[in-house]
Every structure is written in C-alpha cells, then in structure tokens.
Amino acid sequence: MKRVGIFEAKTRLSSLVAEIMSEGEVFQITKHGHTVAELRPPQAQATRPQRGVARGPSFWIAEDFEEPL
C-alpha cells in the first residue's frame, strides 16, 4: 500500500488509476500526514438480476387471475 498526498493524488490521478488497473495497487490518500481515503480496485461487482426472470421456488398463477374482482 502506497501513501500519496492529496495534492499529488489530484495531479496524478490518471497515472494512479493506471497503476491500480495494471498492478492492483492500493493507495492511501493523506492530508497533513493523516489518511483520509483509500483508492483501490473495485470489489467483485455484483451482477444485476435480469427483469422477468423468476428465481427460487416455482410459483403458480390462478386460472382466474385476469378476471374482474
């Protein structure tokens, strides 16, 4: 884990992101020597469920589902 000052992080953001993408590096961003944030690769992204796809136990729809009440 590398430590980078906030001003340096602002000016070198593109190169820091390139390092993160290529090497998976993690950067601690500091302000006056205190860590204020971390810049790291994203965690495994959860896939969004597809609409209209039922998961889990099967279900049934009554024969008269579309009938008026």
| CB neighbour list of residue 39: distance below 8 Å, 6 or more residues apart | 4, 9, 16, 17, 20, 26, 27, 29
pLDDT at 43: 82
Distance between CA atoms of residues 57 and 8, nearest Å: 53
- In the chain, the percentage of residues whose pLDDT exceeds 90 is 57
For the question of whether the overall pTM of this predicted structure is more than 0.85, the answer is no
pLDDT at 34: 96
Taking the chain (69 residues) in consecutive chunks of 10 residues, what is each chunk's mean pLDDT?
A: 95 95 94 95 77 67 86
- CATH code of the domain made up of 2-39: 3.40.1620.10
Q: Given this model, what pLDDT does residue 53 score? A: 63
